Amino acid sequence: MEWTFVIRLLIAGILGGVVGLERELRAKEAGVRTHFLVALGSALFMLISQFAFGDQTHDAARVAAQVVSGIGFIGAGVIIFQKNAVRGITTAAGLWVVAAIGLSCGGGMYIVASAAAVFTVVCLEAMHFVHLNRAEKTILLSADCPGSAQLKEVLNLLKESGITPESYALQNGRATLTLHLTQKSYLETLPAIVSRLTNPAVENA
């Protein structure tokens, strides 16, 4: 029986680690270790609630229910407010799901737990792909630009990269351009353009 419990803990940790690996590869706030420990701890609490009290009369669901409430403290810890945007909500939700996966493994529901882990990773990866190629953001790009000839060079540089400015202005020897970019262009194309400008600055609009 004890080896069965160990197997449940091991499966919980592995499934939690798989979800955590996806988060770590995306450089998110919580990675493999955090998700592994959350799933392992949840499975352990489930085992304790079911088997630690012997034949004594008890409600096995009470200990497991506290995991659902307690995981909120960890989830809140990875949510941050930065530059007028809230970050970490998806990772917090992932930890919440991983806790449920751990509880499922602790209860011996291996197929359900495995399916939940697969669904979670597929959802995260699919939405990352959609966000990378479809999500857009507006930024202000500025750089030193002595005259209209230099501004035209900057515009040509953007055009070669497939970027059309929404607006641009030249004032006091500095050009300011408003760009509407996909997340992929922002991460992959824009850095190469910025590296070719003089004293550049990038701000969120």
What's the pLDDT tens digit per position in 54-101?
Answer: 666 567 677 777 887 788 777 777 777 665 666 778 888 889 999 999
Q: Tell me if 75 sits within 8 A of 95, measured CB to CB.
A: yes
Q: What would the two tokens of residue 21 be?
A: 């690996």
Is 197 or 1 the better-scoring residue by pLDDT?
Answer: 197
pLDDT at 1 over 90: no
Average the pLDDT over 31-54 and give the result: 87
At 56 the pLDDT is 60
Q: What is the pLDDT of residue 98?
A: 93
For the chain, the C-alpha Rg in angstroms (whole number) is 25
Position 105 scores a pLDDT of 93
Both tokens of 1, joined, read 């029986």
Write down the pLDDT at residue 6.
Answer: 93
pTM value? 0.72
The yes-or-no verdict on residue 49 having pLDDT over 70 is yes
Strand extents, DSSP E, the chain: 80-82, 85-87, 136-144, 167-171, 174-182, 201-204
Residue, of 40 and 92, whose pLDDT is higher: 40
Residue 69: per-residue pLDDT: 79
User: In terms of Cα–Cα distance, which of 154, 161, 147, 153 is closest to 189?
Assistant: 161
Report the pLDDT value the prediction gives residue 110, as an integer from 0 to 100.
92
pLDDT for 37: 93
Quote the mean pLDDT of the chain.
Answer: 85
**Average pLDDT over every residue of 143-147:** 88
**135-204 in CATH: which number?**
3.30.70.260
40 confidence band (pLDDT: 50, 70, 90): very high
Min mean pLDDT across 22-36, 60-74, 111-125, 156-170 is at 60-74
Q: Which two tokens stand for residue 84?
A: 């007028």
Boundaries of every domain in the chain: 2-133, 135-204
What integer is the mean pLDDT of 19-44?
88
Neighbours of 173 (CB within 10 A): 10
Those residues whose C-beta lies under 8 Å from the C-beta of residue 114, and which sit 6 or more positions away, are 11, 15
Question: CA dist 182 to 19, 157, 165, 176, 193, Å?
Answer: 26, 17, 13, 19, 15
